[in-house]
């Protein structure tokens, strides 16, 4: 199924908002037994690392790539390139394995997933903002 190139930004937004919400939800559910200033600061640190080192760059890279497509219509999964899909599959696989095989303590899940989920959710929001900006610039 092909969609207009600007729709790829909306798809990316929805995918990352849903992923971010789910991971944030898991982290927040686990957090109830571990709420303290140190853990909140650690979650903030995880968020900052993932946001500034990975996701803000990823949003910029893929928004730029999509906006510069020559053709108007593209396959709906083209909101990411192959490398990004591989990274996403690895992250999902490792996340599921860590939780189902209990490879990390709950405090890690609480702190790490809350920071990571927040960064993913923000990436989704930024893709959505870029989708809306696309119309203003036309």
For the chain, the three-class secondary structure string (H helix, E strand, C coil) is CEEEHHHHHHHHHHHHHHHHHHHHHHHHHHHCCCCCHHHHHHHHHHHHHHHHHHHHHHHHHHHHHHHCCCCCEEECCCCCCHHHHHHHHHHHHHHHHHHHCCCCCHHHHHHHHHHHHHHHHHHHHHHHHHHHHHHHCC
pLDDT band, very low/low/confident/very high, at 83 (cuts 50, 70, 90): confident
- Per-residue pLDDT of 102-114, as tens digits, reads 999 999 999 999 9
Question: What is d(CA 107, CA 30) in angstroms, rounded to the nearest whole number?
Answer: 7
pTM for this structure? 0.92
Question: What is d(CA 116, CA 43) in angstroms, rounded to the nearest whole number?
Answer: 8
- Per-residue pLDDT of 28-82, as tens digits, reads 999 988 999 999 999 999 999 999 999 999 999 999 999 999 999 999 999 998 9
Kindly give, in sequence order, each residue whose CB lies less than 8 Å from that of residue 18, ignoring residues fewer than 6 positions away: 124
Question: What is d(CA 74, CA 54) in angstroms, rounded to the nearest whole number?
Answer: 25
């Amino acid at each position: 199924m092909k969609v207009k190139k600007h729709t790829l930004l909306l798809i990316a937004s929805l995918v990352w908002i849903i992923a971010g919400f789910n991971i944030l939800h898991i982290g927040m559910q686990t957090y109830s037994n571990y709420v303290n200033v140190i853990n909140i600061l650690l979650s903030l640190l995880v968020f900052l690392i993932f946001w500034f080192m990975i996701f803000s760059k990823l949003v910029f890279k893929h928004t730029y790539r999509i906006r510069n497509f020559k053709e108007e219509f593209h396959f709906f999964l083209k909101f990411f390139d192959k490398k990004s899909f591989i990274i996403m599959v690895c992250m999902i696989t490792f996340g599921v394995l860590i939780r189902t095989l209990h490879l990390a303590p709950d405090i890690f899940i609480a702190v790490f997933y809350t920071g990571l989920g927040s960064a993913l959710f923000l990436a989704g929001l930024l893709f959505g903002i870029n989708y809306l900006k696309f119309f203003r610039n036309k």
